[in-house]
Amino acid sequence: MEKTQDYVVCSLELHLFFARIMKEHSFFLKVGFLPPNEDLAGQGERLMRNFEHLLSRAIALSNHVVCQNVLDSGEIVTEFTDLAERQTQRLSGTFIDRRLTARAMQLKGRDCGTDWSAPPMLTRQIQQLNRDGLQFLQRLIAFKEGLLQRIGSCNLFTSNYPLLIEHILREARLYRAHLLRLEGMEDGNKQELRDSELFWNQIMMEHALFIRGLLDPSEDTLIQSADNFAAEYKRLLAASSAANDRIMHSKNALALTEKFRDFKRAGVDGIEKCQIRSIILPLLADHVLREANHYIRLLES
C-alpha cells in the first residue's frame, strides 16, 4: 500500500474499533453516577453521542475500503452485540443507536493484498474525521482525568472502580496516540510493537480482575477462572517486561488470549441468557470480548 492508502485504511479501521469503544466508555461512566451527579451523567451522554456520530461517519466511509480480515475478526461487532445493546438499553433506560451496529454488520471489506487507490476526496474526509476524533478524545480524556481526581479526593462516588476509569483512560490515550501518529505520518517501530503487546496484556489482566469483581460471590467456578486468567497475564507481563526485542512472548500471549476470548464469549452468552449471576451489563461483557478479538488480530498479524 502506498502511504496515502495506508493512512486511509488504518484510520478507518482504527475508528471502527475505537470510536465504538469510546462511546461505550462514555455510556459506562454515565450509568455509574448517582442522582447528585446528574451533571456528570449528562456530560457522559454528550460524549457518547459525539463518538456515535464519529462512528457513523467512519462506517459511511468504510465500505469496500477496510480490510475484510478486520471485519471478520469480531473486534468491530460480534454475534452478541445487537442483543447486548437491546438488553442494556432496556436495563439502563439510555438510548443506544443500534443502527450503527446494523450498518457495521453490513459492511463489505476488500482483500488488502490487492491493488487499490484512495480517491483524493476520501483522503480529505479521513483527515477531517481524524481531527474531529482528536477533539472528542481531548474532551473524553479530560473528563476521565477529572473523575479520577474527584474520586481520589473522596468528592465523588461512582459504581465504576477507580482502576476501571484508569483502564479506560489508558485506552483513550492509546487511541489518541494512534491518531496523532497517523496525522504525523510517522512509522511505528519495533519498540512500539513491543509496547503494544505489554499494553494489551495489561488490559487483558485487568479485564480478568474486573470480571472477578463484578461476578456474584456465589459464582465460585467463574471467579476462580477469572482469577487464574489474571494470574497468567501477570506472569506474562513480568516475562514480557524483561524481554528484549529478540525475545518476545507473542505465542504465549496469543494462546492465553484465545482461551480468555473463549471464556469471555461464554460469559456474554451466559449473561444475555440470564444464566450467570453478576452485575455485568450485557454490553460490558460484549465490549471486553471485542477487545480480546482485537488483540488476537494484532498478535496474529
DSSP track, 63-130: TTTSBHHHHHTTSS--TTHHHHHHHHHHHH-----THHHHHHHT---B-TTS-----HHHHHHHHHHH
For residue 33, report the phi and psi dihedrals to the nearest 5 degrees: -90, 150
Residue 197: which of 139, 245, 136, 126 has the closest Cα?
245
Q: How far apart are CA 151 and CA 170, in angstroms?
A: 17
pLDDT at 239: 86
pLDDT at 246: 42
Span 236-241, average pLDDT: 85
In angstroms, what CA-CA distances link 164 with 29, 161, 292?
A: 10, 5, 16
DSSP track, 209-255: HHHHHHB-TT-HHHHHHHHHHHHHHHHHHHHHHT--TT---HHHHHH
Residue 77: which of 45, 103, 111 has the closest Cα?
103
Quickly state the pLDDT bin for 200 (edges 50, 70, 90). very high
**pLDDT tens, position by position, 75-112:** 999 999 999 999 999 999 999 999 999 999 999 999 98
Residue 189 pLDDT greater than 70, yes or no = no
pTM, 2 dp: 0.94
For residue 85, report the phi and psi dihedrals to the nearest 5 degrees: -70, -40
Residue 245 pLDDT greater than 60, yes or no = no
Instruction: Summarize the chain as % helix, strand, coil (round to 5).
Output: 75, 0, 25
Q: How far apart are CA 167 and CA 170, in angstroms?
A: 5
Lowest mean pLDDT among 63-72, 114-123, 151-160, 173-182: 114-123
pLDDT at 244: 59
pLDDT at 97: 98
Q: Which of the listed CATH numbers 2.30.40.10, 1.10.1380.10, 1.20.1260.120, 2.70.70.10 matches domain 1-187?
A: 1.20.1260.120
Residue 2 pLDDT greater than 90, yes or no = no
Span 13-39, average pLDDT: 98
Domain with CATH 1.20.1260.120 in the chain: 1-187, 190-301
Residue 62: which of 132, 8, 113 has the closest Cα?
8
pLDDT at 256: 97
Computed over every residue of the chain, the mean pLDDT equals 93
**pLDDT tens, position by position, 109-131:** 999 878 788 889 999 999 999 99
Q: Are 255 and 67 in contact (CB under 8 A)?
A: no
CATH of domain 190-301: 1.20.1260.120
**pLDDT tens, position by position, 33-57:** 999 999 999 999 999 999 999 999 9
pLDDT at 243: 66
Quickly state the pLDDT bin for 5 (edges 50, 70, 90). confident
Q: Are 159 and 32 in contact (CB under 8 A)?
A: yes
Residue 23 pLDDT greater than 60, yes or no = yes
Q: How far apart are CA 231 and CA 246, in angstroms?
A: 25
Residue 194 pLDDT greater than 70, yes or no = no
Residue 190 pLDDT greater than 60, yes or no = no
Span 178-193, average pLDDT: 70
pLDDT at 1: 41
